[in-house]
């Protein structure tokens, strides 16, 4: 089956620092990847759509200068949380669309804790 | 606004029973309806999905029932097991490769 990985799985950082999260499709090419955040006991909220070779499309209310997304290849998208603050603490999940199939596969998530 | 409403918020079922989770959508342009299962601290995993050209789809113990006129769809888990205890999300999109709109989630507990 299609596998999507995320790295790191868990990160703790100090307020004001930047954190990069990687999302990789391990056995398929993904022209489109999505980034979600999920707070405890809540649903997934789409943050942005990442397309290979072009600028990401951000959802309303998501600061593009704070959440930098780069989709440099067909297997890798990165989310950088800049100047992180405690309110950015959340579970960040990426997903990838398998090219030619249309099925969306999710990564295992990254737990971010900002102190 | 595109919304998908899911109920119940939580569900407790005895082992061997049937778990039923319901979702309703508003946007008639949606044409792909997947269900995801999520365990604590993990990403969602696709369980089963349906398109509006069929009224029911079954895969093992999991069945989706779809009512296009009512704009509703539901997940039935037959012979529920303690290992099915997880949070279930319905979702909808315009095409299978498009952004998903998720329901609020249902926390299912299957007692042994």
% of chain B beyond a pLDDT of 70: 98
- Ranking A52-61, A99-108, B56-65, B85-94 by mean pLDDT, the lowest is A99-108
> Which among B99, B104, B105, B108 is the top mutation candidate for probing chain A, defined by the most A β-carbons within 10 Å of its own β-carbon?
B99
What is A44-101 written as a DSSP string?
EEEEEEEETTS--EEPTT--TTTEEEEEEETTEEEEEE-S--GGG-EEEEEEEEPTTT
Strands A67-73 and B33-38: unpaired
Residue A92 has what pLDDT? 98
Report the pLDDT averaged over residues B67-79. 96
Residue B95 has what pLDDT? 83
Whether B105 and A46 lie within 8 Å, measured CB to CB: no
Contact assessment for residue A80 and residue A23, using Cβ atoms and an 8 Å cutoff: no
Residue-wise pLDDT tens digits, B24-40: 999 999 999 999 999 99
Confidence of residue B9 (pLDDT cuts 50, 70, 90): very high
- Judged by DSSP in three states, A106 sits in strand
Confidence of residue B10 (pLDDT cuts 50, 70, 90): very high
The structure tokens listed for B39 are 């365990």
Assess whether pLDDT exceeds 90 at residue B21.
yes
- Judged by DSSP in three states, B84 sits in helix
Assess whether pLDDT exceeds 70 at residue B78.
yes
Whether B45 and A34 lie within 8 Å, measured CB to CB: no
Strands B86-92 and B62-67: unpaired
Residue-wise pLDDT tens digits, B39-64: 999 999 999 999 999 999 999 999 99
> Which residue on chain B is closest to A45 by alpha carbon?
B102
Report the pLDDT averaged over residues A35-64. 92
Residue A98 to residues A54, A71, A103, B23, Cα–Cα distance (Å): 18, 15, 6, 26
Confidence of residue A1 (pLDDT cuts 50, 70, 90): low
Longest dimension (CA), chain A: 42
Q: A63 burial class (0-12, 13-18, 19+ CB within 10 angstroms)? A: exposed
């Amino acid at each position: 089956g299609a596998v999507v990985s995320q790295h790191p799985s868990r990160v703790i950082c100090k307020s004001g620092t930047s954190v990069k999260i990687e999302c990789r499709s391990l056995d398929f090419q993904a022209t489109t990847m999505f980034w979600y955040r999920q707070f405890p006991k809540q649903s997934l909220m789409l943050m942005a759509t990442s397309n290979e070779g072009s600028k990401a499309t951000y959802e309303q209310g998501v600061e593009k200068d704070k959440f930098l997304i780069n989709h440099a290849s067909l297997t890798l998208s990165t989310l950088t949380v800049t100047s992180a603050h405690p309110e950015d603490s959340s579970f960040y999940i990426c997903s990838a669309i398998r090219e030619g199939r249309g099925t969306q596969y999710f990564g295992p998530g990254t737990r971010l804790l900002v102190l | 606004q595109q919304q998908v409403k899911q109920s119940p918020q939580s569900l407790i079922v005895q082992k061997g029973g049937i778990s039923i989770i319901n979702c309703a959508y508003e946007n008639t342009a949606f044409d792909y309806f997947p269900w995801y299962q999520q365990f604590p601290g993990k990403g969602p995993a696709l369980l089963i999905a349906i398109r509006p050209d069929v009224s029911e789809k079954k895969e093992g113990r999991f069945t989706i029932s779809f009512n296009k006129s009512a704009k509703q769809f539901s997940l039935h888990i037959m012979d529920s097991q303690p290992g099915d205890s997880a949070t279930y999300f319905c979702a909808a999109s315009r095409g299978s490769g498009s952004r998903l709109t998720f329901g609020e989630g249902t926390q299912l507990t299957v007692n042994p």
